[in-house]
Amino acid sequence: MIWYFVFFFISGFCSVLYELVWLRLSMSQFGVTTAMVSIVLSAFMAGLGLGSWAVGIWIRERGTTRISALRIYGTVEVLIGISGLVVPYELSLGRNILGQLGSTSSTGFYGISGIWVALALIPWCTLMGATIPVAMLAIKDSLPRESSRSFSYLYMANVAGALVGTILPLFFVEMVGFRATLRIGAACNFLIALMAFRVAEHSRLASDQPHERISAEPVAAGSARKSLLALLFATGLTSMGMEVVWVRQFTPYVGTVVYAFASILGIYLLATFVGSRIYRRWSCRQDDESALLWTLLGLFALLPLIAANPVFVMPALLRVALGIGPFAGLLGFLMPMLVDRWSGGNPTKAGKAYAINVVGCILGPLFAGFLLLPWISERWSLVILSLPWVIIGLWPAVPSSPSRGWLPRAAAFALLPLVVGVFCWSKGFEQEFPQSSRIMRDSTATVIATGSGMHKLLLVNGYGMTALTPITKMMAHLPLAFLDRQPKDALVICFGMGTTFRSLHSWGIPVTVVELVPSVPRLFGYFHSDASEVLDSPLSHVVVDDGRRYLERTDAKFDVITIDPPPPVEAAGSSLLYSEDFYSVVRQHLRPGGILQQWLPTGDKADITAVTGALVQSFPYVRVFAFGKNWGLHFLASDEPLPARTAHELAERLPAAAAADLVEWDPDRNPEARFAHLLQNEIPVRGLLALSPRTPALSDDRPINEYYLLRTPFQW
């Protein structure tokens, strides 16, 4: 059996690697939107379920075969390895096809890109889903004594590999990029195939011996069958739905970097592995679980309400571990138990059971992300998702229930007051803010506007986005003042508090602003008293979309495009607004002589060099200005030389309304003084490139800013 553990450990690692990289490649090609993330993850899970179910049926219908199951398994792994080499080209082809179709509506873009992503990923993911029933067939042939619990064994190995897959690929991406990381995954699949073929050659079963026909009769009967499948569906639905809620709950504590999300998934998988390992030991001696386990599952599902309570001060990872570890661990015990009990080692029945669980995994994030979180708080969303387990946990308290012993009954009677107590005692992150704060929710994020005067804050999923600062005004006025003609229009990507959008509007030109989070523009009025006037102007156009996706599907050109990606610089997905690939798209939407303004708030030497390199590779003319010490950098880039204007000349180009806007929050300084401060702090581009000369230009394939642990080991 050790060989099967090795096979599924490596394949679990590869599956998470592929999921991580394919998601990022899809986002870079088709947009960083909640819908696109849902499409990719749904396609991935749908393929797993389809493969498991279809191969289970094939095994049943096939009856006998002269081909070794291990050889079939090895062939499947070869095909999966090929996917690591082919999928990037499939996604690029889809983007090119969309580009040839020309400008299309947002809905049309979603529809076409979603169909393409599904067609690109589902066939390969179907092969991944096929591996479990095929391996179970091989175990049934060669090790029949182990077959009754074969699913839980393969599941445990797969989860262990997936745990490594949440960590190791992050280092690969940092060292060699996404596409090379996919090639590493493909090599691992080819290695599995080679080992499977070698093991098949030395197997006791000769390759010309037929397999016994697999019986299609289920182990359980009647209502027991239905209850097992219902529980498997519920485990997938609630656990994946809870993951969506957990991300929002714990983001204020763990941050928005890729390592934070990996830590949540890693803790979940580690606990799941421990639970499945305990089940394997327990199932050697027993086959009837205590009703107490289901009662505890109902209680553990609500622990994040306590762990995410801002009243408690504790390390972020400990907070996550205490919140999701017990639930994930117990689920790791119960889920393989349910499949083993249903299938009894029969690959056909295991394939069906696993497919039903995957259906729940597909629906769970959609239910939580689009039906719960946009309308109710994270606390209530978690309660609703926990409700099935609370009800099941209360079942031993029913007099007619078959539970044995006083302990399960006592636990069931204690569950309801505990649940009520946990909810009443818990406190959401947003409850830390004054009642005057405004809270809005949508499918993308929970957005909070709080504070007063010049101390107002905008938080997205509990993380601060921006503040009222002259920097965001300069993002508008600096590029417009440097333009060699009177501007006709401008585009701003990332709305924030709306300050840059408002400042561009003061020039009296049409301004388009693109924002990913729908609730953010709705809070414009909280930060600026004239927000309604600006929004109602015929010169204003607000688009809720991914900025890069918007540019991909529009034919519009602008005199100025200004970009301020959400902080921190290391935020997951932020590289897609700093990359050479993105700047090439931006350049296509600038009129001749138009200017791109890019704000880089912070970053280490590698980040600064990578962003500078991406701009230099994309534009022939780049100038850089420091706003102040530790206040970040203003980049101006164009396809024509940027004029050498003095501070006085720049100030003279400002319309009266724009000049007043620039010094609105600092009336002691005039516009000329503002520009003089920047011009005095111009930094040579060569100097920025020399900060980290070995660092490549930031690209979609090499997101230098997001993956940084190897160069900053003390941040661990």
- SS3 at position 593: strand
Q: What is the pLDDT of residue 350?
A: 87
Q: Which fold has domain 470-704?
A: Rossmann fold (3.40.50)
**The pLDDT of residue 409 is above 90:** no
Closest CA to 71 of 210, 185, 189, 198: 198
**Angle of the 150-165 helix axis to the 316-343 helix axis, nearest 10:** 150
**The pLDDT of residue 462 is above 60:** yes
Q: What is the pLDDT of residue 210?
A: 47
Q: What is the pLDDT of residue 630?
A: 66
Q: What is the pLDDT of residue 477?
A: 96
Helix (H) or strand (E) run with residue 462 in it: none
Q: CA 402 → CA 95, 342, 397, 406, 624, distances in Å? A: 57, 20, 10, 12, 74
The model's confidence at residue 63, banded by pLDDT at 50, 70 and 90, is low
What is the arithmetic mean of pLDDT over 19-46?
88
The model's confidence at residue 205, banded by pLDDT at 50, 70 and 90, is very low
Strand residue runs (E) in 292-442: 438-441
Q: What is the pLDDT of residue 401?
A: 65
- Note if the bond before 568 is cis, omega within 30 degrees: yes
What is the arithmetic mean of pLDDT over 435-446?
88
Choice between 203 and 130, residue whose per-residue pLDDT is larger: 130
**The pLDDT of residue 347 is above 90:** no
What is the arithmetic mean of pLDDT over 435-461?
90
The model's confidence at residue 396, banded by pLDDT at 50, 70 and 90, is confident
By CB neighbour count within 10 A (0-12 exposed, 13-18 middle, 19+ buried), where does 464 fall?
A: middle
Q: What is the pLDDT of residue 219?
A: 46
Contact 439, 448 (CB under 8 A): yes
Choice between 462 and 84, residue whose per-residue pLDDT is larger: 84
Contact 154, 2 (CB under 8 A): no
Contact 621, 639 (CB under 8 A): yes
Do domains 1-204 and 223-391 share one topology? The answer is: yes
- Dump pLDDT digits (tens) for 636-677: 999 999 999 999 999 999 999 999 999 998 866 789 998 998
What is the arithmetic mean of pLDDT over 213-235?
64
Q: Please state whether the predicted TM-score (pTM) of the whole model is above 0.85.
A: yes
Cα–Cα distance for residue pair 426/307, rounded to 1 Å: 9
The answer for 279, left when phi > 0, alpha when psi is -120 to 50, beta otherwise, is: alpha
Contact 125, 313 (CB under 8 A): no
Residues 6+ apart with CB under 8 A from 153: 1, 4, 5, 146, 280
The model's confidence at residue 142, banded by pLDDT at 50, 70 and 90, is confident
Q: Percent of the chain at pLDDT above 90? A: 60
Contact 190, 75 (CB under 8 A): no
Q: What is the pLDDT of residue 613?
A: 97
What is the arithmetic mean of pLDDT over 557-584?
92
The model's confidence at residue 492, banded by pLDDT at 50, 70 and 90, is very high
The model's confidence at residue 400, banded by pLDDT at 50, 70 and 90, is low
Q: What is the pLDDT of residue 628?
A: 73
Q: What is the pLDDT of residue 58?
A: 84
- Dump pLDDT digits (tens) for 298-330: 889 999 999 998 888 899 999 999 999 999 999
Choice between 698 and 431, residue whose per-residue pLDDT is larger: 698
Q: What is the pLDDT of residue 301?
A: 92
Question: Does domain 223-391 sit in CATH 3.20.20.10?
Answer: no
Q: What is the pLDDT of residue 713?
A: 60
Contact 39, 369 (CB under 8 A): no
Contact 533, 14 (CB under 8 A): no
Q: What is the CATH number of domain 1-204?
A: 1.20.1250.20
The model's confidence at residue 145, banded by pLDDT at 50, 70 and 90, is confident
The model's confidence at residue 292, banded by pLDDT at 50, 70 and 90, is confident
Q: What is the pLDDT of residue 214?
A: 43
In eight-state DSSP terms, residue 215 is P
Residues 6+ apart with CB under 8 A from 550: 493, 514, 543
- Dump pLDDT digits (tens) for 522-545: 999 999 999 999 999 999 999 998
Q: What is the pLDDT of residue 207?
A: 43
What is the arithmetic mean of pLDDT over 192-221?
62
Q: What is the pLDDT of residue 201?
A: 82
**The pLDDT of residue 687 is above 90:** yes
Q: What is the pLDDT of residue 217?
A: 43
Mean pLDDT value across the chain: 88
Domains of the chain by residue range: 1-204, 223-391, 470-704
**The pLDDT of residue 714 is above 50:** no
Q: What is the pLDDT of residue 223?
A: 47
The model's confidence at residue 39, banded by pLDDT at 50, 70 and 90, is confident
**The pLDDT of residue 55 is above 90:** no
- SS3 at position 624: strand
Q: What is the pLDDT of residue 271?
A: 96
Total residues found in the chain within this entry: 716
